[in-house]
Every structure is written in C-alpha cells, then in structure tokens.
Amino acid sequence: MGALHAGHASLIKRAQKECEHVIVSIFVNPIQFNHYKDFENYPSDNKGDISFLESLNVSLLFNPSGKVVYPDGPKIKNYNLDNLDTKLEGLLRPGHFQGVATVIDRLFDILKPDRAYFGLKDYQQVQVIKKLASIRAECPEIIGCPIIREDTGLAMSSRNSRLNTKQKKAASSIFRALKFAEKEIRIFPVPPEALKREMKAIIHSSGELRVEKILFAFSNSLDLINDPNSPLDHYNESVQCFISAFAGEVRLIDNYCVS
C-alpha cells in the first residue's frame, strides 16, 4: 500500500530471482480500514516509492486510481474464507479481511500474475490470501516471505514512519517480548496467562506502548488456544503468538512462532 521500505524490497528481490517479470502494485485500499481516520493518516510517498522501485529495476508499477480498481464504487464482497477472516485480528477488526480479499481478488483479475509475494508480518492476511487463491483454483501461487526487521527487532512497516524517536525505540520491546516467550516455552512448561502477564510487563516497561492483545494460536489453523493454564509446549502443533499494541495513535502488529 505504498510508503515502501526494505521489507517490500525483500519481496521484490525474491520475486526477481524466481520470475521473469515483476509487477508492483500500489493502492491504499479504503474498504479494509475499520476507521476512516486511519485510512486518511496512512503514510503516502508516491515520488519516493517510484524512485525506490526504479532503483530495484522492477518491470512495471501498477498504481491505479480508485475508479480503476472499483469502477462501480468500493464495495466489500463476501468470500467463504473458512472463518480465517473472523479469528484473531478478524475479531478486533470485523470485515477487515473481507476488504483485503476483495481488493486482492480484483488486483489478481487485472494483473493476472502467476505468483504473488506477501510478507508474513501480516501472517493472518497471508493465510486469508492463500484461501482466496484456492477459491481461484490456486491461481496465482501465493508465496509467504519472512518478516524483515530493523536492527532493534522492530518489524518493518509503513506505519513505523508515523512513530517519533521515543516511540520507535520503545516499539522494539514487542519483539523482545516475543523472543522472551520463545525462550520461556523452551525452558519451562509455561501456561499462556502467566506468559502474557510477563510479556505485557516487558512491553509496558518501555513507557510508550499500550498492549491491545496478546494471543496464542495454532500456526496452521489459526485456532485460538483457549486453555489459560495448559503449557504451550504440550501441543503437537506449532504455536504462533500475535501481538497488537499502540504507540500513541499508531497501531503496531507483530507475530512469531514461539513453539
């Protein structure tokens, strides 16, 4: 959605290694925002983005107007996403993933890619898009790519440009909390509730962040782990931790496979 950074560059470079031509689309999709103010405040830097893409020698930039993407006006479609859209982040942001699926489906129709590359910082979004691709007869092939982090561990995001210096430094506490969880689970039979308390304390100790949610779910199904007292290392499936937190008005998200 623009305001491109090294995380986007990593997607482009991988695509260039695996594909003959690489198209980058930039479109800030209004129907996936739950609050219009968030849509209005989403960072935009068209000139910087064009220069960025030129330096990477992409084959084509597709930067459409809203009328091109939604000729009949922006309206959310409803897809059968096997409830992937109603779990976790979907509970906090009703309709968000249907809005994402709508615009991605439209972009796929216009551009007709063989492969599409998405960053796993938006882990649930990648699962939703994979389901969308299955509805489309596995076309295109969806490639999930690793999170690119700053030296502090902060997951790269266009929203980071809205953080002041103190907030950006404090935001590194999110990844510290995730790594703490991974270490604790490896050493101790830790139940989720106790672990959440410790993780919140780490993030809140930064003095700049307010935790919205810390959730544990199975990595494949995204089913929430509801038992607050059953140790997370007792399951025979990998466990993903999802964190959302606010730095001022900026909402930050991150995730990590902790077990």
pLDDT of residue 250: 95
Structure tokens at 250: 């900026």
Residue listed under structure tokens 């931790």? 241
At the second CATH level, the architecture of 6-145 is 3-Layer(aba) Sandwich (3.40)
With b for 16 or more beta-carbon neighbours within 10 A and e for fewer, the 195-208 pattern comes to bbeebbebbbebeb
Q: Which of 17, 6, 15, 21 is nearest to 55 (CA)?
A: 6
Give this prediction's pTM: 0.94
Query: Residue 239: what are its φ and ψ, rounded to 5°?
Result: -115, 130
pLDDT of residue 94: 95
Question: pLDDT tens digits, residue range 32-45?
Answer: 999 888 899 899 99
Structure tokens at 106: 């439209």
Supply the residues annotated as catalytic: 8
Which residues does the chain have with pLDDT short of 50? Answer: none
pLDDT of residue 27: 97
pLDDT of residue 234: 87
Q: Which amino acid belongs to residue 148?
A: I
Structure tokens at 84: 């992937």
Structure tokens at 89: 């982040």
How far is Cα 157 from Cα 147, in angstroms, rounded to an integer? Answer: 10
How far is Cα 60 from Cα 202, in angstroms, rounded to an integer? Answer: 43
Those residues with Cβ within 8 angstroms of residue 123's Cβ, 6 or more apart along the chain or in another chain: 240, 242, 255
Altogether, the residues listed in the chain come to a count of 259
- Same CATH topology for 6-145 and 158-257? no
Those residues with Cβ within 8 angstroms of residue 8's Cβ, 6 or more apart along the chain or in another chain: 24, 52, 119
Domain boundaries 158-257, corresponding CATH code:
3.30.1300.10
Question: pLDDT tens digits, residue range 226-243?
Answer: 999 899 988 989 999 999
- Cβ-based neighbour number of residue 147 at 10 Å: 19
- Residue-range domain boundaries for the chain: 6-145, 158-257
